[in-house]
Amino acid sequence: MVPTEAGRTSIIVRDAHLSYPVGPFLKGSLKSNLFRLFGYKEQDVPDIGYIKALAGVSFSVRHGERVGIIGRNGSGKSTMLRALAGVYPLDSGELAIEGRIQSMFEIGVGFESEATGRENVYYRGLVMGVKPSVIEERIEEIIQFADLGDFIDLPMRTYSSGMWVRLAFAISSYLDGDVLLIDEVFGAGDAAFVGRAIARMEALVETAGIVVFVSHDLGTLERLCPRTIWMAHGKIRMDGPSADVIAAYMAEVNG
């Protein structure tokens, strides 16, 4: 492991490499079986193999920094965030994080559709590694922020997509940590809730030891993060002041 400064949040990534298989094209997959039904032989199935998601990424984040990550779809930015969260293991390289991680992406993970919203607060908290006593301390705040009324005690299969997101965001944002990892969390929800969620997220950014924020909303990203990393093809293209990096990125996108 890479040594970190004791008692301070920090992130250190050195020469990180990560690949993942393109599942639909692997032998024995559903797609290859369908090809065979139409007379294709196994060798006719495209052999994609592995995609190189990260290719020698190195950077560090000090305590107190707020860092944005931008890039086109498939650039490796979300993969990098999930590697930081411990979801994806590196093929090679070094990664060390000092501090307790709070991740806000794929926020619907850990829900049981037949259980009530209230029950799912506990389920999701346990999936996040939060102690039951901490969940108990925060549950009323979570329920109040989600603002689901009587639906909080109904099965989540009765919820709309917006209600699902509201509860998920409330849970993720109130069971906090030292290192805040955020990836495009506002895919659904009414305008009033989105406004409250952004205000809540800004409050989290103020109190977290470190923030790493992946987003296509460049205006919000620049407002929250003084520093931005631009990723392309699994590598860091540029790392510096957000205004400079975003300007260079937009020049290429619009060029």
201 located within any domain: no
pLDDT of residue 171: 85
- DSSP letters, 175-202, are S--SEEEEE---SS--HHHHHHHHHHHH
Instruction: Tell me which residue range forms the domain holding 35.
Output: 10-100+216-254
**pLDDT tens column, 151-171:** 999 999 999 888 888 888 888
195 located within any domain: no
* pLDDT < 50 positions in the chain: 1-6, 24-31, 34-35, 45
pLDDT of residue 23: 53
169 located within any domain: no
Q: Using a pLDDT cut of 70, give the percent of the chain over it.
A: 80
Q: Tell me, rounded to whole angstroms, the distance of Cα 185 from its chain centroid.
A: 8
142 located within any domain: no
80 located within any domain: yes
67 located within any domain: yes
pLDDT of residue 71: 96
Q: How many folded domains does the chain comprise?
A: 1
Please indicate, yes or no, whether the overall pTM of this predicted structure exceeds 0.85.
no
pLDDT of residue 7: 53
227 located within any domain: yes
53 located within any domain: yes
CATH number at residue 17: 3.40.50.300
pLDDT of residue 30: 46
**pLDDT tens column, 46-82:** 555 678 999 999 999 999 999 999 999 999 999 999 9
